[in-house]
Structure 1
C-alpha cells in the first residue's frame, strides 16, 4: 500500500514541478516519471532505516531531485537571464 502512495505522491509532485517550471523545465511525462522514481527511492531509504514519515521524506527527496534537474539543465535553465 505504501508503494502506491509513494508513486502517487511522486507523480503529483512531478506534475506540480512541470506546472511551475513551464517551458524552462523538464517536460511533463519525464517529470512525472522522475518524481515517482525519486519518491520510491526516498521512501525505500527511510523504510530501510525503520524511520517514521516515509511520505514526508519522499516528498522532500522528489522536490530536491526535480529542482536540481530543472535548475541545471543545459537547454533553457530556470535561472537564466532570457
Structure 2
C-alpha cells in the first residue's frame, strides 16, 4: 500500500510539469520562468533521483527521473531562447 501511495503521489506531482513543458516547447517563451529557480530545482531533482536509485525507491527515482527530463527541457529552452 505504501508503494501504491508513493506511485500515485509521484504521478500527480510529475504530470503537473507536463503542461509547462509542452507550452514551453510550443511557444519557446520562457520569460515567466526564473533561471535561478529552475537551475536549483533541476539540481534538487538530480539529487532526489540519485537518492531514489541509492535507496531503491521506485516511486522516488521514477518520478524524479521523469521530472528531471521535463525540467531539463524547460531549462534548456530558458537558456537557448533567452
Q: Which has the higher helix share?
A: 2
Regarding TM over 0.5, the answer is no
TM-score with structure 2 length normalisation? Answer: 0.39
TM-score with structure 1 length normalisation? Answer: 0.39
